[in-house]
Structure 1
Amino acid sequence: MNVSGLSLRDLEYVVAVAENLHFGRAALSCSVSQPTLSAQIRKLEDWLGFDIFERAPRQVLVTERGQHVVAQARIILGESRRLLELAQAGGEPLSGTFRLGVISTLGPYLLPLLLKPLREAYPKLRLLLTEGLTWPLLTQLEQGQLDAVLASGAVKESDLTELPVFFEEFVLAVPRDHALATVESVSAADIKAEELILLNEGHCLRDQMLHVCPARERGVRPGDPLQASGLETLRQMVGAGIGCSLLPRLSVAVGALLDDMVAYRRLQADVEPGRTLSLFHRQSFGRIRDVRLLREAIRSALEPTGLVRLPARTGV
């Protein structure tokens, strides 16, 4: 069987359809027209002699034999990216395209502090940003779709390497007319479980909130009204007097539009409530030097603010 007609682009189409289970969305993600994508996949199926996808009017499924094709396509694409990584590793530091994933509870607050100094230090860097939840981002990282992910929380049963970047404390956000708004010293025990607003399932910050605060006592269930899809919605719920919550320190400093409606208090505890943000990358990634340089750039951007705690530098 002659493989000269097989292209990496065709394999990208296959993986995109497998991930989206929709030809239109797959074409959009590949920046190509749907007829072109469909025609190339059909051509590949004809070449293989079997269908990769089962097509129905309102549904696309991966066939049993197609699952093996998709898995192998991911391997081939990952190895091709590794060739590019090896080539870029020998060039200028932090130059070319770098695909960074950032969790949604951090991106809007870190990036305004980082992007300008990063661009000044590395003008040839083309930073492509993806914002989302921890586990989908780490899955994209494992599959080679991202080069690194900035997230918080332990990653179990994974071959990913973790580089701690900084520690960010949590502060309590309460309505300005709340009883705790004028209290100098606040502990987790002062927070009423029935008042605590949580992020929706899927946010690592939700689990970290529950570790600190007593909301678990109320038996949090799907449909609980004291839940928010993101930090800004959560902050607005606090401002509306619906309840209180924990916010990461950077989000307090950057998102100050509701300061006349929301008061912030530091929590007193034996163990400082907060989260460690780390850069994760694949062990086989060919641009580990660039990941470490990115870590130093983030630390350098944050150090003058005094908003986070940086670990001792041990070299790049």
Structure 2
Amino acid sequence: MNITLRQLQYMLALEKFRNFSRAAESVHVTQPALSMQIRELEQSLGLTLVERRPRDIRLTRAGRMVIDHALRIDAELKSLEADLRRGQGQVNLGVIPTVAPYLMPRALPKLQAVQSGFRLREAQTHELLEDLRKGRLDAAVIATPAPDTEEITLFEDHFLLAGLPEALERLEGISPDALDPGELLLLEEGHCLADQTLKICNVNRDARSVDLGAASLTTLCALASGGMGVTLIPEISAVAEQHASPKLAVTRFAKEPGRVLRLVRRADAVDDGEWFESVANILREAGQSVLDDARRDIPVQPAAPRMKMQAAQ
């Protein structure tokens, strides 16, 4: 069985005009050409779809079934054409796990309002870049530069020190690279945040006597609030993680390290990119809203100079 869109189009025209000549004229083909396509469709299905009469045609039960499906297919095709004209087809967006739970709840409602379809995938950076390369994703929010991509900077996300209040009081005024590697908690290998933390704190993971690698920031903060050590957390996560772990205290460094969050897509993408800028603007606005909440709850020291970090490759 090999039903073509052309055959379905001809069936719809025949159902509308109830005459082979007028149906053929409406789709700009000759009457014999239209008749031949209907015959081929019937032969392919092994069914009679049209009863030919001297002055009229009638659809059989099978013919009416074909018309019902053809109408739905025609409606979907028109919807597709409209979406493509507006540049509003489904966007497949990837986001790293240390950003997705904190940024996307605020961004998604607005993204869904301006896009006809939206699909979110949360995964580590290397997985997102592979999906981007293979066309499974249209764009990704990551925190490290990526080759062969076009990028739009979203915002800078500073790193804060988190742990029990007594631990932070003891470490007040300390710089990240002066933290004791033995009490530094990290995400498991593969997370770019873990690599960035090691770089900021000038620590070698292999040299640590105890490695309590966590799969998520929530687990990491739960360990810290349980007195297992201290950790660096992104500013974007601070409010949510303090709510999740009420014993967790968070403080700022005098010189704040940070990461740059960016929206990337393939450099060789062939569309006009209007949707890309629109998505970036929404993500930037949502991110700034989350950061404003964090800076209200954990005020930035007015005179504190900020240290930008060269992102880990």
Shared fold (TM-score, shorter chain, > 0.5): yes
Q: 2:156 aligns with which of 149, 167, 179?
A: 167
The residue identity in structure 1 corresponding to 2:107 is L
Q: What secondary structure, in the 3-state scheme, does the structure 1 residue paired with 2:203 have?
A: helix
Measured after TM superposition, the shift of residue 184 of structure 1 is: 5.1
2:175 corresponds to 1:187 = yes
Which position in structure 2 is the counterpart of 1:92?
Answer: 86
| Aligned partner (choices 133, 142, 155) of residue 133 of structure 2 | 142
CA distance in 1, matches of 2:278, 2:134: 23
Change (3 A) 1:214 1:284: closer
Pairing of 1:4-43 with structure 2 (within 5 A): none
SS of the aligned residue for 1:226 comes to: coil
Give the match for residue 280 of structure 2: 295
1:89-140 superposed Cα distances (whole Å, 9 cap, x missing partner)? 85225x22100000011101111121123334x1x43110111100111011
Check whether the contact 1:181–1:264 (CA below 8 A) recurs between aligned residues.
no
| Matches for 1:121-160 after TM superposition, within 5 Å | 122=114, 124-155=115-146, 158-160=147-149
User: When you count strand as a share of all residues, which structure comes out higher?
Assistant: 1
SS of the residue aligned with 1:177? Answer: helix
1:277 deviates by: 0.6
Q: Using the alignment, how far apart are the partners of 1:242 and 1:301 within structure 2?
A: 32
Pairwise CA RMSD: 2.8
C-alpha distance 110-217 of structure 1, shift in aligned 2 (>3 A): closer
DSSP-derived class of the 2:190 partner: coil
Counterpart amino acid of residue 227 in structure 2? G
The TM-score, its normalising length taken from structure 2, stands at: 0.62
- Of 236, 239, 244, the residue aligned with 1:250 is 236
Question: Separation in 1 of the partners of 2:132 and 2:252?
Answer: 34
Matched, 1:207 2:195: yes
The match for 1:8 is none
Shift of 1:288: 1.7
| TM-score, scaled relative to structure 1 | 0.62
Residue deviations 1:144-175 (CA, integer Å, cap 9, x gap): 111001101122xx322222111100000011
Q: Secondary structure at the match of 2:137?
A: coil
Greater Cα radius of gyration, structure 1 or 2: 2
Q: Which runs of 5+ in 1 are unaligned?
A: 5-86, 310-316
For the pair 1:229 / 2:212, whether they are aligned, the reply is no
Q: Which residue of 2 aligns with 1:114?
A: 107
CA distance in 2, matches of 1:126, 1:181: 48
- Which residue of 2 is the match for residue 32 of structure 1? none
Aligned partner letter, 1:116: P
Matching residue within 97, 103, 110 for 2:96: 103
Q: Quote how far apart the aligned CAs of 1:183 are.
A: 5.9
**Between the two proteins, what is the percent identity of the paired residues?**
31
Deviation at 1:214, TM superposition (A): 3.9
Looking at structure 2, the residues matched to 132 and 217 of structure 1 have their Cα atoms a distance apart, in angstroms, of: 22
- Structure 2, unmatched stretches of 5+, are 3-80, 296-305, 307-313
SS at match of 1:150: strand
